[in-house]
Amino acid sequence: MSEHFSLSDCDVIGFDLDHTLCRYHLKETSRLIYDSFARYFVEYKNYDKDLLTLTPATWDFCFKGLVVDLEDGNLIKLAEDGTILRATHGTNDLSTEEIIKHYGPKREWKHFDSLNTSYTRSTKYYFYDNYFDLPGALLCARIVDMLHKRGSEVTSEIWKDMLAAIDHNYNTSAFKEDTGTYFPSVKQNPGRYLQPCSDSVKAWLRSMKNAGKVVLLITSSHSDYCRLVCEHILGKDFEELFDVIITNALKPGFFSLVPQQRPFRTLVNDVEESEGLPSLDKPGWYSQGNWPHLHELLKSMTGKAEPKVVYFGDSMRSDMFPASRYGKWETVMIVEELEGEGVPGSSQAKTEPLEKRGKFEDQGMKTPSATSKQWGSYFTDVRRSGGGGGGGHPKAHLVQPQHPHLQHHGHPQRGEHRRPPAGL
């Protein structure tokens, strides 16, 4: 891997699907995801129906990059060195004194090394780094608020219920069976949630394939949902744009579970064959799988012993880190917060007619990619080092990059690639 590279030098161009090739209408999608989780809590777990009601201002809390500390029930925002920049209990800010009381005078979070070097899930914390589960952070915080209002104890059952809500809505069979709230809603009206790719993007994909590049699509979405999304954003002939399509890839395990890797499986009417493939011997559409077997196929397709691969994705934990560390691939991260925080771009919200914008547009709902009044910027923040907590002026402050997964990156210019750090 090099500090800079050119796509023209790459033999293989790979893409994640959701929030990478496919951009979503984030306001509408976030509202749908929140509703899908909240309805599960109310209908299956008998939580308060007030969870179903949100004001547009509530969405300021919804912010990518937060960590839920499952031991204390707090949500925290971290600097690149593990310092806690901001924290809440429920939706309520913790003062400087309260942060120090929970985490010590240096405001150090004890699980930072685990978060910064590992891709695996933990029973101690949950890292919200993608838009598919991000509204769950808001829901968890509101549940804590409601329990405190009642005088009830906050327990780990909340998190168990949240995992059940995620599984209920995103289970691989949910699309086919029309269960949950998320998939039935997107199937009924995909244009409300999905942004079609421009003609220039489609032409770019075709040009790479015509230039002899091997073009990959690797997504953890199941094949039926992938097909719906791709047909809407790329057209009915989307399969012609890719040499290899891999669905239900179960990233990051696709890259990391070596030598216990999952085999590739063929699909018949979106149903995985029970017998795994010992290897890949030709291009096509597959399910699950692992990068070593894919690597052997890519060597055969390119005629090179070590083909140069670049992969575009939006998740540091599922895409960037494992692809770079295990696959030794170049990586390019799609960071919607660049546009959300005002970096010039082609934000569709600036050009769409009013009638096509999300229904919360005129009511003040913040898009999850924009700066939060409560949490600040996705990229930098001010760490308070003295008293004052939620109100007055701090004695001193330090502007720091926030989030371990963005360390050493800064603000890359449009079109520039910088390699991700070795760890998270």
Cα 247 from Cα 264, distance rounded (Å): 10
Contacts of 168-173 spanning 24+ positions with Cβ under 8 A: 168/40, 168/44, 169/33, 169/36, 169/37, 169/40, 170/132, 172/222, 172/248
Closest CA to 78 of 33, 125, 122: 125
Decide: 11 and 17 in contact? Cβ < 8 Å.
Answer: no
Decide: 245 and 15 in contact? Cβ < 8 Å.
Answer: no
CA 341 to chain centre: 17
Q: Indicate the helix (H) or strand (E) that contains 256.
A: helix 253-256
DSSP 218-246: E-SS-HHHHHHHHHHHH-TTGGGG-SEEE
> Residue 334: exposed, middle, or buried by beta-carbon count in 10 A (0-12, 13-18, 19+)?
middle
Q: Which residue is catalytic, options 9, 11, 16, 161?
A: 16
237 has catalytic annotation? no
Q: Which residue is catalytic, options 9, 11, 18, 381?
A: 18
Closest CA to 310 of 422, 420, 424: 420
Q: Which pairing describes strands 84-89 and 12-15: parallel, antiparallel, or unpaired?
A: unpaired
- CB atoms under 10 Å from CB of 358, counted, come to 20
Decide: 89 and 144 in contact? Cβ < 8 Å.
Answer: yes
Q: Which two tokens stand for residue 115?
A: 């978060």
48 has catalytic annotation? no
- CB atoms under 10 Å from CB of 223, counted, come to 22
> Residue 24: exposed, middle, or buried by beta-carbon count in 10 A (0-12, 13-18, 19+)?
buried
Decide: 245 and 221 in contact? Cβ < 8 Å.
Answer: no
User: At what angle are helices 26-45 and 157-170 packed, to 10 degrees?
Assistant: 120
Cα 414 from Cα 141, distance rounded (Å): 35
Point out which residues pair with 309 in neighbouring strands: 12
Cα 169 from Cα 40, distance rounded (Å): 9
Catalytic residues: 16, 18
